[in-house]
Amino acid sequence: MKLVFDNKFDSIVVVGDIHGEIKSLVFKITQQYNIKNSLIIVAGDVGLGFEKDNRYLELFKRMATKLKKTGNTLLFVRGNHDRKDMWLDDPIYKKYWQTGNSNIRLIKDYTVITAETDRGIANILCVGGAISVDRVARTLNNNYWLNEVFVYDEDLVKDLVGITHVITHSAPDFCEPTTKVGIEEWISLEGKNGTLGEDCDKERADHTLLYNKLKEKNTINKWCYGHYHWSKFDEFDGTLFKLLDIMELYEIW
């Protein structure tokens, strides 16, 4: 899947988890940092699916108007705290599909976004999804969904060329965090039949499969991700990996 922007942006910015704070993010973009004519991409955990659809539709309408006044476009990659079906051509959100014309759009997994700034053209692969480590304390199909996970599909990436950037919600297993410090309690709460630890290992290993497959035919400049709620830079084999904290903004191009 492709999403090509014909206009030239001043910058391309990636944002960490926003957890439903869309209004706060738009305030940051348009007033606090006075960002204009830019492409802003949230790397998951938008916080969509916890409230009634009409609340989101009204919010999207108002925020899209604010963004349009400053020439900004806001794209949402899904995280684990997002209802996946909202990204899957749900007719209620037709205007906000990536094929729509709104200044706010929902970006499907394995979409390649092509956008230009003065630095040149960026081809950005976006793949969302992750595991809610606190799922044992959540209610299925209310604030936790079985299909929220990251799904590695080699067929969708094996022929990709020219990818310059990658945005995911989680990350390869060689990136921070490299231990399970902070989630041991959740693993314990799932009990002896729980699979959280193993599921998290697979999630990270599958991201590594994605990285390795992309590296065969692409030179990846930067890889951005959120999910872990802290900020960190790492570099591996010429690729800069940027872990974004909650509501952290980072210019990639």
Whole-model pTM: value is 0.97
Q: Would you tell me which CATH number, out of the four given (3.60.21.10, 3.40.50.1440, 3.20.20.370, 3.40.50.300), belongs to the domain 2-251?
A: 3.60.21.10
List the one residue out of 202, 142, 131 whose CA is nearest residue 172: 202
In whole angstroms, what is the distance from residue 172 CA to residue 190 CA? 24
Mean pLDDT of 207-222: 98
Q: Rounded mean pLDDT of 36-45?
A: 97
Query: Which one, of 87, 77, 20, 79, lies nearest residue 51 by Cα?
Result: 20
Least trusted range by pLDDT, from 42-51, 112-121, 166-175: 42-51
Rg (CA), the chain: 17
pLDDT at residue 203 in the model = 98
Query: Where exactly are the structural domains of the chain?
Result: 2-251
pLDDT digits (tens, 9 = 90+) for 66-115: 999 999 999 999 999 999 999 998 888 888 999 888 999 999 999 999 99
pLDDT digits (tens, 9 = 90+) for 178-196: 999 999 999 999 999 999 9
- Residue 50: its pLDDT value, please? 87
The predicted structure's pLDDT at residue 234:
96
- Alpha-helix runs per DSSP H in the chain: 22-27, 53-69, 184-189, 196-215
Q: Which residues contact 191 (CB under 8 A, 6 or more apart)?
A: none
pLDDT at 54: 82
Mind listing the pLDDT tens digit for each residue in 10-40?
A: 999 999 999 999 999 999 999 999 999 999 9
Confidence check: pLDDT of 123 > 90? yes
Give me 120's structure tokens.
Answer: 């040149």
Q: Which residues pair with 2 in a beta bridge?
A: 112
Q: Is the pLDDT of residue 116 over 80?
A: yes
pLDDT score, position 183:
95
Written as six digits, the tokens of 143 are 């604030």
- pLDDT tier, 242 (very low <50, low <70, confident <90, very high otherwise): very high
**Paired tokens of 184:** 């041991």
- Residue where the block lists tokens 């869309």: 22
User: Which is more confident, 134 or 95?
Assistant: 134
The pair of structure tokens assigned to 148 is 């929220």
| DSSP type of residue 108 | P
CA dist 159 and 168 (Å) reads 19
Q: How confident is the model at residue 51 (pLDDT cuts 50, 70, 90)?
A: confident
